[in-house]
C-alpha cells in the first residue's frame, strides 16, 4: 500500500467516488461532492491536498488536508467560534476532511497511512500547529483513543453532510512527542 497526492483528474475522481460511496452508505448528504475541494491558492500554496491510499492501482482510502486561509476552513461553517479561539492564539490551523476508507482487511493500515501522511504534509510542509476534524458523535471515542484528539463543544449539525458532528482538535506538538521527537518541531508563530 502507498499514499499519493491526488494530482490527475482520475485520482481526484477516485477520491470523490470513494467518499461519495462511504457517505451515502451512512446516510450522509453527498451533493456537495461534485468536484475536488476548491483548489484556490493562498499565499502561493494550494488550500487543499487530497491524499489517496492505493493498493496497486485501486484507491482504498482518501483524506483531504484543508489549509487555513482568508476563506477559512470547512469546519468554520458549524464551529467558527471554537476554531477562531485557537486562531486568536496565533496558531496555524488546518483540517482533515473527506475521509473515506474501504471497509476490509486494509482499512486500518489505510487510515494510519493517510493520517500519518496528512501529519507530514501539514506539519512539515505547511508548519501547521493544530488540526481539526468533524466526526459523527459515535466516532469520538475512536479519535480520542487512536490519535489523542480532544472534543470541543457539543454536537452540531454539519451543513455539508446534514448529519450531527462533533468538532475535535489536536495540537500537533502532541503528535511530535508521540512519534518520538524530543521536542515539538515548531512553536506557534
Domains contained in the chain, number? 1
pLDDT at 35: 63
Tell me, yes or no, whether 185 lies in a domain: no
The pLDDT value given to residue 44:
43
DSSP letter at 123? I
Provide the pLDDT confidence category of residue 107 given band limits of 50, 70 and 90: confident
- For range 12-23, the mean pLDDT: 89
Domain membership of residue 59 as a residue range: 2-178
Global pTM reads 0.86
Q: How large is the average pLDDT for residues 56-76?
A: 91
Residue 42 has pLDDT above 90, yes or no: no
104: CATH: 3.40.630.30
Amino acid at each position: 500500500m502507498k499514499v499519493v497526492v491526488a494530482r490527475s483528474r482520475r485520482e481526484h475522481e477516485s477520491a470523490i467516488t470513494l467518499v461519495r460511496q462511504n457517505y451515502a452508505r451512512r446516510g450522509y448528504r453527498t451533493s456537495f461532492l461534485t468536484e475536488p475541494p476548491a483548489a484556490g491558492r493562498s499565499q502561493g500554496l494550494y488550500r487543499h491536498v487530497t491524499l489517496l491510499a492505493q493498493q496497486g492501482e485501486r484507491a482504498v482510502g482518501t483524506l483531504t488536508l484543508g489549509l487555513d486561509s482568508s476563506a477559512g476552513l470547512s469546519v468554520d461553517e458549524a464551529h467558527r467560534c471554537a476554531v477562531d479561539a485557537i486562531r486568536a492564539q496565533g496558531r496555524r490551523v488546518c483540517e482533515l476532511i473527506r475521509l473515506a476508507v474501504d471497509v476490509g482487511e486494509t482499512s486500518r493500515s489505510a487510515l494510519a497511512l493517510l493520517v500519518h501522511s496528512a501529519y507530514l504534509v501539514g506539519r512539515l510542509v505547511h508548519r501547521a500547529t493544530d488540526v481539526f476534524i468533524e466526526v459523527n458523535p459515535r466516532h469520538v471515542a475512536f479519535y480520542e483513543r487512536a490519535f489523542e484528539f480532544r472534543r470541543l463543544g457539543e454536537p452540531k449539525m454539519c451543513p455539508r453532510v446534514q448529519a450531527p458532528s462533533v468538532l475535535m482538535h489536536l495540537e500537533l506538538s502532541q503528535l511530535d512527542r508521540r512519534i518520538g521527537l524530543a521536542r515539538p518541531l515548531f512553536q506557534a508563530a
